[in-house]
Homo-oligomer: A and B are copies of this chain.
C-alpha cells in the first residue's frame, strides 16, 4: 500500500535481482525510476507493475530489445496503443507456437520414458 520501495524490496517483490534491476534501468527498459536525495533508487507501485509486465514478457521468451520497444511505445503515449497491441499480438502468436512445440516434444519425452519403464521393469524382474 505504501508505494515506495527500496531496491532490495523491489527485487524481492519482482523476483529480479538487484543487478538485473540496475541493468534494466541502464539499457532504458526501466526509466524514470525515482531517487532519494542521496541518490538511491525508489521504486513505486507503477514501477513494480512494469516489472510484472517484463516478467510476463521475459518468461514467454520475448527478447529484451522488443521489450524496450514496447516500453518506448508506452512512454510515447496513448496514440501508440494500436502498435503496442499489434506487438503483443505477434508475440502471443509466437508463444502459441512455442507452447505447441513444447507440448509435442513433451509427449515424445513421455513416450521415451514409457519405453524405459518397460526396459527397467524387465531388467528388475528377470525371467522369474
**How many A residues have CB within 8 A of the partner chain?**
36
Complex formed: what's the CA distance from A56 to B111 in Å? 11
Copies in the complex: 2
Docked pose: A110 CA to B101 CA in angstroms: 19
A109 to B88, CA, bound (A): 7
Q: How far is the CA of A116 from the CA of B102 in the complex (A)?
A: 28
**A53 CB, min distance to chain B CBs, angstroms:** 7
| Interface residue ranges of A71-128 to B (CB < 8 Å) | 78-79, 81-82, 84-85, 88-89, 91-92, 95-96, 98-99, 101-103, 105-106, 108-110, 112-113, 116-117, 119-120, 123-124
Q: What would 6 more interface pairs be, CB under 8 Å, given A81-B116, A88-B113, A91-B109?
A: A59-B101, A81-B119, A82-B123, A85-B117, A96-B106, A99-B106
